[in-house]
Amino acid sequence: MKQDWKPGTMIYPLPAVLVSCGSTKEEYNLITVAWTGTICTNPPMCYISVRPERYSYDIIKRNMEFVINLTTADMAYPTDWCGVRSGKNFYKFDEMKLTPGPCKIVSAPLIEESPVCIECRVKEILSLGSHDMFIAEVVNVRADDNHLNEKTGKLELAEANPLVYVHGNYYELGEKIGKFGWSVEKKK
């Protein structure tokens, strides 16, 4: 039997990412975001949703670019800390001993400790209520070659132990149970 609940955001798990922003070292900031996802493949587009009262909101809106840095279980503490502390009061890179690195296309920094850093340029901002959605084009992806399969050249991100967010809690991924299309593959 199912119960009816008031409408809410129950689509979980989500990636727990650190979004980096700012065009100068003095402006660099990190914000933890779970409201993020893919919008389009061609052109590659994604989004982040941020509350207008957050410190990073104005930085992203002014520069119209950001970096989505995927996180790992090893990055769980800084991911959580950056979500509950304001960049008004802390220089988060130093506080969490994370390393800002140069991006290839955007002026925002990437996080060197992140296995995958997605450089984004904002195309549109939608005011939706509690959050504004920054719709962005992916202009470059920087991947740590420690997670590249030497034979296939593909990224094996599951080996990096990605961090996910489920209704107020952080988790690691579990055991692999299949791959896309496995349910219809012909038996050999």
The pLDDT value recorded for residue 25 is 94
pLDDT digits (tens, 9 = 90+) for 91-131: 999 999 999 999 999 999 999 999 999 999 999 999 999 99
Specify if 186 maps to a domain: no
Q: Is 61 left (phi over 0), alpha (psi -120 to 50) or beta?
A: alpha
Checking if the pLDDT of 187 tops 80, the result is no
Query: CB under 8 Å to 49, separation ≥6 — which residues?
Result: 33, 35, 36, 128, 131, 132, 133, 134
DSSP string, 89-133: T--HHHHTT--EE--SSSSSPEETT-SEEEEEEEEEEEE-SSSEE
The pLDDT value recorded for residue 132 is 98
Q: Which domain range does residue 155 map to?
A: 14-175
Specify if 144 maps to a domain: yes
The pLDDT value recorded for residue 80 is 97
Most confident of 69-83, 146-160, 172-186: 69-83
Checking if the pLDDT of 33 tops 80, the result is yes
The pLDDT value recorded for residue 38 is 95
Specify if 127 maps to a domain: yes
Specify if 8 maps to a domain: no
The pLDDT value recorded for residue 148 is 83
Query: CB under 8 Å to 71, separation ≥6 — which residues?
Result: 15, 16, 17, 18, 79, 114, 162, 163
What percentage of the chain carries pLDDT values higher than 90?
75
Per-residue tokens: 26: 């003095």
Q: Which of 66, 67, 94 is nearest to 81 (CA)?
A: 94
Q: Which of 145, 142, 108, 141 is nearest to 28 (CA)?
A: 108
The number of beta carbons lying within 10 Å of the beta carbon of residue 116 is 20
Phi, psi for residue 22 in degrees, rounded to 5: 110, 150
The pLDDT value recorded for residue 43 is 96
Number of domains in the chain: 1
pLDDT digits (tens, 9 = 90+) for 62-102: 999 999 999 999 999 999 999 999 999 999 999 999 999 99
Specify if 161 maps to a domain: yes
The pLDDT value recorded for residue 182 is 85
In CATH, what number is assigned to the domain containing residue 151?
2.30.110.10
For tokens 């893919």, what's the residue? 38
Confidence of residue 58 (pLDDT cuts 50, 70, 90): very high
Specify if 187 maps to a domain: no
Checking if the pLDDT of 10 tops 90, the result is no
∠ CA 99-106-47, nearest 5°, is: 95
The half-sphere exposure of 71 on its side-chain side, counting CA atoms within 13 A, is 30
Specify if 184 maps to a domain: no
Spacing of C-alpha 56 from chain mean position: 14
Specify if 24 maps to a domain: yes
pTM beyond 0.85: yes
